[in-house]
Amino acid sequence: MNELQREYSAFINNMDVRLGAFVLADLPETFEKEDGETVKFPKDFGSKSLPMLELFVLSKFPSTEAILEAENRRFFEGLIRYLGETYLRAIGGVWDHDETTGNGMPFIRPDTEEGPAAGEPIPLVAIVLTAVDQRSAEVFTAVLDKARENLGGDGLPRRKCTGLSLGMLTAENSSEEEVEFLSRFIGTVEPGIAAWTQEQAEPASWGFDRESLARLGKQVAVRYDTREDMMSEEETPFVAGAMRFIGETVRRIGFGQWRYGTELEADDPRSRQPFVRFVIGDQNLDLVPWRLIQAALEDSEAIASALDAVIELREKEASEAAASDGDSAGTDDED
């Protein structure tokens, strides 16, 4: 996997937290229109949110140079995520990337009357820059209108919602403190892992897989005798990198989401800790990397075994879903 592919994979894998944080922390609750009227800001990924979103962007950035400044990169990326997911819900399509379109940044390949993802790419970065440059507050909607024309017929999508299935952080399922922490923390995960692996023996041999988790468990068991040994100042870089590696590996394989423990009892292992949540059926399974590292002191297989448990539950979930679909198909046949 080359660097562009890794960046794209990270973009998609981090969609839940990054987009949720953008909606909660960067988009306002209300917005004052040019005529002075204060209205509620829509954050529902609906097409009607696009004019308000564009007006808000124009109010923040007087020029393309301003939005491209390094300090605004997080906002720009969040805006691209929101805009792309809104288009997908309105017209269908898929997220995609290549080395040339949109300077290598993710873009939308829309559905057309010719078929799924058959349209010309919608380069989100270029669309945002055009909007800021033209300052008409009509660009975001104009792009959507054109894509709807390409759907033919009544301009409605041929498929059900093709936006990503997001378990986003919302005001209902998270706190402002959690969003603030994750907004900072998520950006340190992949760089932290990259720096950490370079300090390990055979850096290229570390991958986001079970074998690497098992190797890390053995390394922890040999490196430390007690929990207190891990907490010394000189061990902070190793432990911090290992925690990120554990969490990101199980998250990617088990399709989980980074969370942060706030408003929990002090003896809860998730309290004030980043952890990974897996939503399986109607149940939550939470894995805390700091707790898994400690468990490896007693059982070097504890970290890899935690991944095994997630995989087993995912397979059971898929099996039950397949059986349910089969039962439904049988009922339809009888009718």
The pLDDT, as a whole number, for residue 123 is: 96
pTM, 2 dp: 0.69
The pLDDT, as a whole number, for residue 187 is: 79
Report how far residue 182's alpha carbon sits from residue 260's, in angstroms, rounded to the nearest whole number. Answer: 7
The pLDDT, as a whole number, for residue 335 is: 45
CA 53 to chain centre: 21
Is-contact 23 168, C-beta < 8 A? yes
The pLDDT, as a whole number, for residue 275 is: 96
Beta bridge partners of 286: 277
The pLDDT, as a whole number, for residue 112 is: 94
The pLDDT, as a whole number, for residue 257 is: 86
Long-range contacts of 323-329 (CB under 8 A, 24+ apart): none
Stretches in the chain below the pLDDT threshold 70: 1, 325-335
Say whether 258 sits in a helix, a strand or coil.
strand
Question: What stretch of H or E contains 276?
Answer: strand 274-280
- The tokens describing 94, both together, are 């898929």
The pLDDT, as a whole number, for residue 329 is: 55
Helix axis angle, 73-91 to 139-149, nearest 10°: 30
Count CB atoms within 10 A of the CB of residue 86.
22
Report how far residue 177's alpha carbon sits from residue 260's, in angstroms, rounded to the nearest whole number. Answer: 9
Report how far residue 313's alpha carbon sits from residue 316's, in angstroms, rounded to the nearest whole number. Answer: 5
Report how far residue 47's alpha carbon sits from residue 256's, in angstroms, rounded to the nearest whole number. Answer: 28
Say whether 229 sits in a helix, a strand or coil.
helix
Helix axis angle, 210-223 to 302-334, nearest 10°: 150
The pLDDT, as a whole number, for residue 332 is: 53
- The tokens describing 304, both together, are 């890899």
The pLDDT, as a whole number, for residue 35 is: 82
Beta bridge partners of 283: 280
Is-contact 261 270, C-beta < 8 A? yes
